[in-house]
Structure 1
Amino acid sequence: MTIHFVVHDEGDSVGVVVVEGLKAGTSLNGWIMDQDRMMAFDAKSDIPIGHKLAIRPIAKGDTIMKYGVDIGRAVADIGAGEHLHVHNVKTKRW
């Protein structure tokens, strides 16, 4: 089984894509490292390797968690399987 993304902890809101050329519509397999379990859903966006994807629906204004750390807030609603980047996530620092 191919692992398409990894998640540090089930409390995270995002995973990190670990394969090249991930296209919208792909059935994804993700590994939640801390719990050593798998999760699956479909990609809703093309997502480059090393970029984040939502592993659950995220509402505008929600805190984004990655590796158990607050990395910013959603500036738009983000569905599970969608790409997270500068277009829909901003830092809380300024």
Structure 2
Amino acid sequence: MSRNKFILVNQADNVLICCQPASSGEVALIDDKKYTLSTAIDVGHKIARTDLNSLEKVIRYGVPIGSATTDIKAGEHVHMHNMKSDYIPSHTRQAKAGE
């Protein structure tokens, strides 16, 4: 079980940070609940601590770092494929108008 592979940096965070590589199929313990990872997670990447609704703020370090672009279930990988930066337009995989 991936008990120590994910850390909560700030109690207000709705994501956990990966501090050791985690493989697809591993079980992560989040707030005393078990979640099976559907993808491998690299160090520094995030998984959802709670279910996140589309457009909901992603909170890391106690501050919003962006918004979910789709619904994200607890335990799922949170990255540029399902969130966007609210501050830096280049930090998203969403196509810009005219591209």
Alignment counterpart, residue 41 of structure 1, candidates 17, 34, 42: 34
Count of aligned pairs between the two proteins: 86
TM-score (norm 1): 0.78
Q: How does 1:5-84 map to 2 (within 5 A)?
A: 5-20=6-21, 22-29=22-29, 39-42=32-35, 43-84=37-78
Cα offsets for 1:31-76 (capped at 9, x unmatched): xxxxxxx644222332112111101100000001001011000001
Query: How far 1:25 sits from its partner (Å)?
Result: 2.7
Alignment identity in percent? 30
Structure 2 residue runs of 5 or longer lacking an equivalent are: 90-99
Larger RCO, structures 1/2 (Cα 8 Å, 6+ apart): 1
Residue 23 of structure 1 aligns with an amino acid whose one-letter code is S
Deviation beyond 6 Å, 4+ runs, structure 1: none
**Structure label with greater radius of gyration:** 2
TM-score (norm 2): 0.75
